[in-house]
Structure 1
Amino acid sequence: MRRGYRNHTLWVAYLLHRLSGVALALFLPVHFWVLSYALNQPEHLDGFLRWSEMGIVKVAEFGLVFLLAAHLFGGLRLMALEWLPWTLGQKTAAAGAVAASTLIAGVFLMRAI
């Protein structure tokens, strides 16, 4: 069975928004766990912070910031779909959201390096 809606550009925006939400939901417990080191085991936090200076971690942070920005802009796109009349510019808005997410994450990466 062929599903034509999956060929639509906005389906990719839908998929990116869902996947970024799941990835962020998986990241948050780990983030809170590491933050708990500041209260309970500061020496472990120091070790984690040294580990976080590695280049691969910086690239992963770029991915995290991209996912956060993509999820934010995807949510704004969905709110616009709900509250504003439909226009043909929705594909352009979705592409602009991805571009803005990449720009934001790239600026973050450049400052982190």
Structure 2
Amino acid sequence: MKTARSHQAYWAFLGHRLSGLALALFLPAHFYVLGMALDEARLDRFLKLSEMPAMKFGEWGLVLLLTLHMFFGLRLLTLELLPWSSTRDARLAWIGWGFAASMAFGFAFIAGVI
């Protein structure tokens, strides 16, 4: 018996919601750093920290969260606003393609392509 939590759409829903929550939690830190730009010396000290591997990993995670949220959000908009005459499998394919695209963007970022 298949439960709702084992369905791909549930995981896409959860990925979209959790990535949105994580991005919302990131925003205050982002605004704080933007506020540092008013003091050039303070911003330069912070930017030196951004060269650390842990910060690079965090930036990669941020790109991954942004692309996951974007592609899963586009999936939801498509499901809600466009007529679907295709099969259920086509709608599920959006989940796989969205996840694959977000991973591709994440790996392109870590490789220095973007």
Q: Same fold (TM over 0.5)?
A: yes
Q: Give 2:24's aligned residue.
A: 25
- Residue 67 in 1 paired to residue 65 in 2? yes
Residue aligned with 2:51, SS? coil
Cα distance in 1, alignment partners of residues 31 and 11 from structure 2: 30
Alpha-carbon distance in 2 for matches of 1:87, 1:44: 56
The 5 Å alignment of 1:60-99 reads: 60-84=58-82, 85=84, 87-88=87-88, 89-99=90-100
RMSD, aligned α-carbons = 1.8
How many percent identity over aligned positions? Answer: 46
Structure 1 unaligned regions, length at least 5: none
| 1:13 to partner: Cα distance | 0.3
Partner of 1:48: 46
Q: Which residue identity lines up with residue 49 of structure 1 in the other structure?
A: L
Residue type of the alignment partner of 1:77: R
Measured after TM superposition, the shift of residue 106 of structure 1 is: 1.1
Equivalent AA in structure 1 for residue 3 of structure 2: G
* Aligned equivalents of 2:42, 2:14: Cα separation in 1: 37
Gaps of 5+ in 2: none
Report which of the two has the higher share of helix: 1
Q: TM-score, normalised by structure 1?
A: 0.90
In the TM superposition, what is the alpha-carbon distance from 1:57 to its structure 2 partner? 1.0
TM-score using structure 2 length: 0.89
Residue aligning to 2:34: 35
For 1:4, give the aligned amino acid.
T
CA deviations 1:45-104 (Å, max 9, x no partner) are: 111100000111111111100000000001100001102226321221101101100111
- Residue of structure 1 equivalent to 2:108: 107
Once residues 87 and 106 of structure 2 are traced to their aligned partners in structure 1, the CA distance between those partners, rounded to angstroms, is 28
Per the alignment, residue 9 of structure 1 pairs with 8
Amino acid of the structure 2 residue aligned with 1:104: F
